[in-house]
Chain A
Amino acid sequence: QSVLTQPPSVSGAPGQKVTISCTGSSSNIGAGFAVHWYQQFPATAPKLLIYANTNRPSGVPDRFSGSKSGASASLAITGLQAEDEADYYCQSYDISLSDSRVFGGGTKLTVL
């Protein structure tokens, strides 16, 4: 019952491309608020991966890219590598819930 909807899991073989979607509504992504993406490995803190829809912090490989259209956003990973296997979360801002930050439910990426 997360405010932002992500697929629970995606998978791909090494070298392939995968895309993770994040669907919101007119009170968050659709209202124009930015989407940010985080990568989380087991038993570690999330790490910022993409900010403001399309921007990579320094040190994040350009295999990771973000996009946004309407009330949805996507994270694409090209040239999939075994070390990309992790959980991925989208996050945005929601005006209907009093200055709330909202997360997607998370997507488990499995590298086959």
Chain B
Amino acid sequence: QGQLVQSGAEVKKPGASVKVSCKASGYTLTDNFVHWVRQAPGQGLEWMGWINPNSGATNYPQRFQGRVTMTRDTSISTAYMELTRLRSDDTAVYFCAREDGNEVFDIWGQGTMVTVSS
């Protein structure tokens, strides 16, 4: 069925960068888009963009353009999301999710807590 396992929690200072990993198992990473979604404490879900692991193509919403970069390493079945110039309002749980090809997020990673604090 497949599984996504993310890297552990991070604490960063304002202005720093964070890179979160998302390792796929039980399916072939390159068969499906991987999306990133974040959730600030007590808030809803916010879509951050996708990567096509087969081609490396990416798409980010305007609010994250210039600050987010999604990459992948197919040799280890892992996708990455890097967010730069961190601010306190970037404090959130970051999830990766597999899209099944019909805009449905059918498999989710367990989430990675990123705390931005001075």
Chain A: residues with Cβ within 8 Å of the partner, total of 27
Q: Digit string of A89-112 for contact with B (CB within 8 Å is 1, else 0)?
A: 101110001111111111000000
Q: In the complex, A100 Cα to B104 Cα: how many Å?
A: 12
Q: How many chain B residues touch the partner (CB < 8 A)?
A: 22
Contact B45 A45 (CB under 8 A): no
B interface, by DSSP: helix, strand, loop or mixed? strand
B11 CB to closest chain A CB (Å) equals 18
A70-101 contacts to B (CB < 8 Å): 89, 91-93, 97-101
How many residue pairs bridge A and B at CB < 8 Å? 62
Task: Choose from B45, B100, B104 the contact partner of A106 (Cβ within 8 Å).
Answer: B45
Task: Report B78-112 CB contacts with A as 1/0, cut-off 8 Å.
Answer: 00000000000000000101001011111011110
What sequence of 0s and 1s flags, for each residue 22-36 of chain A, a beta carbon within 8 Å of any chain B beta carbon?
000000000001101
| A61 interface residue per 8 A CB criterion | no
Closest 8 CB pairs of A and B: A45-B108, A106-B44, A103-B45, A51-B104, A101-B47, A105-B44, A93-B103, A36-B104
